[in-house]
Amino acid sequence: MIGIYLLVVAIYDVILRDEYNRHAFRWLESWACATTGCMAMLASEVSIFILATMSVERLVTITFPYKPKLLNKRRGMVVLATIWLLGAALALTPMTSDNIFGNFYGSNGVCFPLHIHEPYKPGWQYSAFVFIGINSVALCVVAYSYIAMFVNIKRTQSNVSASKDTQFAKRFFVIVLTDLVCWIPIIIVKILALSSVIIPGIIYREDPRVILGHYPRYYISRRSSLYPRSLSQVLSHAL
């Protein structure tokens, strides 16, 4: 899904290159911007929810290795469906009312609703609720789960069953650490912006790229031809 988002942004980058300022308003108000921004937010939130769920599941499995698995196939499907429904609800809610949320996804050139440059634009409360509130709680759950997990691993290293789960936990930790490294700076920058701290453009201009960076397969380098340079040039004015 995040790949579709990046593809759409790249296509419009090619279409509007060198004349973005002439078409900026049309792009920011377009259904394409709103839809792709909604998809990016959905993918981001589902990703962090899945990481939190898997972290808790690993913690329970390692802490209680002889008890039945917390998530069997049926429960896993239910949990996944719930996560996707919750992510969809969070992503679609801003599209339900222009009076309350304004042009939520059209607040910047890459259609990702961080609201850094103008932190109090319409819909800022919802943006803060999602990116600071929900994501902070999810990251705290992940961090606590792994701290408790590795403390427990030290006590159960001689246990064969726990050893197998430990191998998986250590591999999965790399993914979790990447996600934490991506999201924590964004949360800090958003809190600073809401505190009326002036954020240098060089920092928040990179935010969408950093957030998308925890999808390694779809990472776009700043020097890549896919990175929306013409959009990023005016990002400091659009965010």
Q: For the domain that residue 79 is a member of, what is the CATH number?
A: 1.20.1070.10
State mean pLDDT over 6-16. Answer: 81
Q: Is residue 170 part of a domain?
A: yes
What pTM was computed for the model?
0.75
Q: Is residue 239 part of a domain?
A: no
Q: Is residue 220 part of a domain?
A: yes
Q: Is residue 153 part of a domain?
A: yes
d(CA 175, CA 166): 15
pLDDT for position 163: 56
Who's near 142: CB < 8 A, 6+ residues apart?
A: 51, 52, 55, 176, 179, 180
| 63, two tokens | 């802490």
Range of the domain at 81: 2-232
Q: What share of the chain is helix, strand, coil (3-state, %, to 5)?
A: 75, 0, 25
Alpha helix positions (H), 64-134: 73-92, 98-101, 124-128
C-alpha atoms less than 13 angstroms from C-alpha of 145 in its C-beta half-sphere: 24
State the residue for tokens 């390694």.
216
Give the total number of structural domains in the chain: 1
pLDDT tens column, 157-213: 655 455 555 666 667 777 778 878 888 888 888 898 888 887 776 565 544 444 444
pLDDT tens column, 19-33: 777 878 888 888 888
Q: Is residue 25 part of a domain?
A: yes
Q: Is residue 21 part of a domain?
A: yes
Q: Is residue 112 part of a domain?
A: yes
Q: Is residue 138 part of a domain?
A: yes
pLDDT tens column, 44-83: 999 899 989 988 888 888 777 777 777 778 888 999 999 9
Give the Cα-Cα-Cα angle 218, 219, 220 (nearest 5 degrees): 110
d(CA 49, CA 55): 10
Question: What percent of the chain has a predicted confidence (pLDDT) above 90?
Answer: 23
